[in-house]
């Protein structure tokens, strides 16, 4: 029996085809916060992390974004524990290219042999034969970009990854990357209060690349009492975080927000944003306010 949208609200966000052939519901889940403090080690409550992942899928989320460096590997292993064997429509994206030497410490490493090693480990940890979307977590300025993306292209030819993505890049870096291999997605910091990557989003729109905004529900001063989000929140009976996500979904058809949380209650609130429909005036008011 078919499941309706009210039971799986993430379906209300619409769909997007990553790389033209991997279909996901646009409102996804980012699995960084199911690790320990500083994105290091195990979570305080592993059982709740498993519940969050399973509940996300129950709510219609079909796109989960993680990285080998979250934990490291803790996030990937929890995803496998919670969801393997995976539903046919579940798409798991992961990343490589940032190493960890402790809580809150992130260092780019893009040596080809390292990227290959991490891909093999992610395949094992996630229990996948092929990773639907594999993203270069950061460009390593010490290694030629052609060497970094060339190795990912080899992994793609070998069938170990399907599509290649980038993270925290400029328009010039995307163009340089696309001259080396086919790029399917870009993941940059972007939210209602911080739109410094607007030029990257517009480039992705023009070229039909998925744009995955990380830290998507930051609202800053916009959520203050009497602020722009306050009145609209009251009108919709929605939280400021839900409005921030609804604004992103309305902003562009290539936008795939991935709000993360370690709480089932917070997850349910986030996914409920897919049902919020901003009017033209509300959308413009929020855009101008930030």
Please count the other Cβ atoms lying within 10 Å of the Cβ belonging to residue 103.
12
- Side-chain-side CA neighbours of 210 within 13 Å: the count stands at 35
Active site residue 29: no
Query: What's the CA dihedral at 4, 10, 14, 19 to 10 degrees?
Result: -120
Rounded CA-CA distance 43/36 in Å is: 4
193 alpha carbon, distance to own chain's centre: 18
Which tokens go with 44?
A: 């305080």
CA proximity to 188, closest of 124, 95, 102 = 95
Rounded CA-CA distance 209/174 in Å is: 10
Q: Is 85 helix (H, G, I), strand (E, B) or coil?
A: coil
What's 143's DSSP letter? Answer: S
Q: Are 95 and 68 in contact (CB under 8 A)?
A: yes
- From the list 16, 29, 70, 190, the catalytic residue is 70
CA proximity to 206, closest of 233, 237, 236, 175 = 175
Q: Are 197 and 205 in contact (CB under 8 A)?
A: no
Rounded CA-CA distance 197/209 in Å is: 14
Helix (DSSP H) and strand (DSSP E) numbers for the chain: 10, 11
Which tokens go with 260?
A: 């993360």
Q: Are 130 and 141 in contact (CB under 8 A)?
A: no
Q: Annotated catalytic sites, by residue?
A: 70
């Amino acid at each position: 029996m078919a499941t309706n949208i009210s039971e799986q609200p993430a379906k209300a966000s619409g769909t997007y085809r990553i790389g033209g052939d991997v279909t996901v519901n646009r409102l996804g889940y980012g699995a960084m916060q199911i690790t320990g403090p500083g994105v290091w080690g195990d979570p305080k409550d592993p059982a709740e992390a498993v519940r969050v992942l399973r509940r996300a899928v129950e709510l219609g989320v079909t796109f989960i974004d993680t990285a080998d460096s979250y934990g490291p590997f803790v996030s990937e292993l929890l995803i496998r524990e919670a969801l393997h064997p995976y539903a046919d429509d579940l798409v798991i994206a992961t990343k490589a290219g940032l190493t960890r030497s402790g809580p809150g410490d992130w260092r780019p490493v893009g040596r080809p042999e390292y990227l290959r090693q991490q891909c093999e480990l992610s395949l094992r940890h996630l229990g996948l034969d092929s990773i639907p979307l594999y993203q270069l977590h950061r460009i390593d300025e010490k290694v030629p970009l052609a060497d970094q993306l060339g190795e990912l292209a080899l992994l793609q030819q070998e069938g170990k990854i399907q599509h290649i993505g980038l993270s925290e890049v400029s328009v010039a870096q995307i163009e340089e990357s696309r001259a080396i291999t086919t790029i399917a997605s870009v993941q940059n910091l972007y939210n209602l209060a911080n739109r410094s990557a607007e030029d990257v989003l517009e480039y992705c729109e023009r070229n039909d690349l998925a744009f995955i905004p990380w830290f998507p529900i930051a609202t800053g001063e916009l959520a203050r009492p009497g602020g722009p989000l306050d009145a609209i929140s009251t009108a919709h009976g929605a939280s400021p975080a839900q409005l921030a996500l609804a604004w992103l979904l309305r902003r562009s058809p290539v936008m795939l927000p991935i709000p993360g949380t370690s709480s089932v209650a917070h997850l349910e609130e986030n996914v409920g944003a897919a049902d919020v429909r901003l009017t033209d005036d509300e959308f413009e008011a929020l855009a101008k306010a930030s």
